[in-house]
Amino acid sequence: MAKKDEPMSEGEEETEAESISESESESQSLSGGGESKGGLEYIMSLPDVPTKLPPHMELQRTRVFCNADAPIHTDTVQYSGAFAALGEDNSFRLDHFRKNFRIEVMRYSEDDMEFDMIGIDPALANAFRRILIAEVPTMAIEKVLIANNTSVVQDEVLAHRLGLIPISVDPRLFEYADNNAPNERNTIVFKLHAHCERVKGERRRHTVKANDLKWLPNGSEFLLESGDSNSNSTSKPKTHTSFSCSQDSLPEFSNNPIGFKGKLNDIIIAKLGSGQEIELEAHAVKGIGKTHAKWSPVATTWYRMLPEVVLLEEIEDEMAEKLKSKCPVGVFDIEDIANGKKKLTVARPRACTLCRECIREGEEGEKRVSLRRVKDHFIFTIESTGALPPDVLFTEAVKILESKCERVISDLS
């Protein structure tokens, strides 16, 4: 289609541009940077050329209609020349994006936030969501060295449980371990030694919680099993990590010990019966959610399009009461109007889950209420697991997308 469009508009520009006064076409070509633009501008200024999409098309372009049988107009029109015949330029313009893009924070707390992203395409909103879940790094326990485990929880289950505990530490302070030896820049070591004492005549129970994992800033305390016994006597004994200095001597951690914050301390790792014991060391490294979900920095993150509930006619009295009681999330409200009559109003469209209960009656219902979603308005929710606050996670995600673009550009040039 574009191939057809290009020469057509150029042809038009030649004939039209020549017909208008010379001075005008000159100034236009100067400002527009190209002859075709000047010509197009002239055409657009003609009184009978529509400058905007007709309202019904604009509605289809910007809204999803959630009808009783199925949602319609669900696609987003991306192609630059999609509305060329109607004189609407659908090509990408950064200044338009800058002008129309908006963010509004709805809710913010240390571990979850909700904000509205307005004027953006689902392709980008989804990219941010995907990156948040799978590509923003965190620290998680990857290696568990078990010295003793007499609990009922098997070694592998215990190791898996440990891996899933979110560690409250900024992953940006660490490097990826890859195949390097574990050092103070890429590994965090925790020690866990829990024991349930055996007391005669008592049935003791002990709960091991995340809080019992103690940070070892000097690295592993378990010695490497090497056959050489004489090397141990001369130098420092070799352990499972090779820290060149203590982590708590680093400025980032000197007065900010690594551990678990708030309710993360109460995560139950295992329960011990009397006489049972767990002794282990856990090594945490940096990773991304794509490799394993334990590295995902979010419990989940999602977006939904803004619901729009429109009453197509005045709904009064009985019908108003009926519709109000039908809605399970209380979208509608009833307003008293003159002479004892009641009128239905849409009070909380944002709460609408599009259950479509209000239009369930078919034709009749659809004529009364129209349920829509705004295509470029996303209600974005981020639930952080605790490593980083949600706003930092989002900026990190955007940065990752930027670096992906950068990689492609540098690969191509």
Partner 1 sequence: MEHGSFSDNSKSTFSLTDEDHTLANAVRFTLNQDPRVSFCGYSIPHPSENRVNIRIQTTGAPAREVLKDACQDLMMMCQHVRSTFDTVVADYKTRNPSEEMDTDDSDNVG
Among 50, 262, 328, 330, binds partner 1 (CB under 8 A): 262
Binding to partner 1 (CB under 8 A): which residues in 6-25? 6
Nearer to partner 1 among residue 323 and residue 387 (C-beta): 387
C-alpha closest to that of 72 among 53, 56, 55, 89: 56
* Burial 189-211, CB ≥16 within 10 A → b, else e: bbbbebebeeeeeeeeebebbbe
Exposed/middle/buried for residue 258 (C-beta within 10 Å: 0-12, 13-18, 19+): buried
Is the separation of the CB atoms in 81 and 388 below 8 Å? no
Instruction: Give the CA diameter of the chain.
Output: 108
Binding to partner 1 (CB under 8 A): which residues in 285-344? none
DSSP state of 305: E
Tell me how far apart the alpha carbons of residues 186 and 180 are, in angstroms, rounded to a whole number.
9
| Token pair listed for 102 | 């908006």
Q: Are strands 112-118 and 138-149 parallel, antiparallel or unpaired?
A: unpaired
Question: Among 123-131, 230-238, 313-321, 353-361, which window interacts with partner 1 (CB under 8 A)?
Answer: 123-131
Question: Among 89-97, 140-148, 295-303, 312-320, which window interacts with partner 1 (CB under 8 A)?
Answer: 89-97
Nearer to partner 1 among residue 129 and residue 324 (C-beta): 129
Q: Decide if residue 178 touches partner 1 (CB under 8 A).
A: no
Is the separation of the CB atoms in 37 and 10 below 8 Å? no
DSSP state of 172: G
Could you tell me the smallest distance in angstroms from the CB atom of residue 210 to partner 1?
12
Among 67, 90, 218, 274, binds partner 1 (CB under 8 A): 90
Could you tell me the smallest distance in angstroms from the CB atom of residue 89 to partner 1?
8
Among 30, 70, 94, 338, binds partner 1 (CB under 8 A): 94
Among 49, 54, 79, 300, binds partner 1 (CB under 8 A): 79
Is the separation of the CB atoms in 305 and 373 below 8 Å? yes
Exposed/middle/buried for residue 170 (C-beta within 10 Å: 0-12, 13-18, 19+): middle
Could you tell me the smallest distance in angstroms from the CB atom of residue 317 to partner 1?
42
Q: Decide if residue 251 touches partner 1 (CB under 8 A).
A: no
C-alpha closest to that of 320 among 370, 363, 371, 369: 369
Q: For residue 282, how many other CB atoms are within 10 A of its CB?
A: 24
Tell me how far apart the alpha carbons of residues 228 and 232 are, in angstroms, rounded to a whole number.
7
Could you tell me the smallest distance in angstroms from the CB atom of residue 88 to partner 1?
13
CA angle 374, 376, 378 (to 5 degrees): 85
Among 17, 131, 162, 192, binds partner 1 (CB under 8 A): 131
Is the separation of the CB atoms in 196 and 274 below 8 Å? yes
Could you tell me the smallest distance in angstroms from the CB atom of residue 94 to partner 1?
6
Size of the residue set binding partner 1 (CB under 8 A)? 56
Among 10, 156, 266, 406, binds partner 1 (CB under 8 A): 406
Q: Decide if residue 223 touches partner 1 (CB under 8 A).
A: no
Interface mask (CB under 8 A) for partner 1, residues 101-120, using x and -?
Answer: xxxxx--xxx----x-x--x
Tell me how far apart the alpha carbons of residues 238 and 232 are, in angstroms, rounded to a whole number.
7
Q: What is the dihedral of CA 289, 292, 298, 301, to 10 degrees?
A: 70
Q: Decide if residue 194 touches partner 1 (CB under 8 A).
A: no
Could you tell me the smallest distance in angstroms from the CB atom of residue 139 to partner 1?
15
Backbone angles phi, psi at 95, to 5 degrees: -65, -35
Could you tell me the smallest distance in angstroms from the CB atom of residue 32 to partner 1?
14
Q: Decide if residue 124 touches partner 1 (CB under 8 A).
A: yes
Could you tell me the smallest distance in angstroms from the CB atom of residue 293 to partner 1?
16
Question: Among 122-130, 142-150, 273-281, 309-317, which window interacts with partner 1 (CB under 8 A)?
Answer: 122-130
C-alpha closest to that of 365 among 351, 380, 355: 355
Nearer to partner 1 among residue 49 and residue 105 (C-beta): 105
Could you tell me the smallest distance in angstroms from the CB atom of residue 408 to partner 1?
5
Among 30, 70, 338, 409, binds partner 1 (CB under 8 A): 409
Tell me how far apart the alpha carbons of residues 238 and 145 are, in angstroms, rounded to a whole number.
15
Chain residues that interact with partner 1, rule: CB under 8 A: 1-3, 6, 78-81, 90-92, 94, 97-98, 101-105, 108-110, 115, 117, 120-121, 123-124, 126-127, 130-131, 134-135, 256-259, 261-262, 389, 391, 394-395, 398-399, 401-402, 404-406, 408-409, 411-413
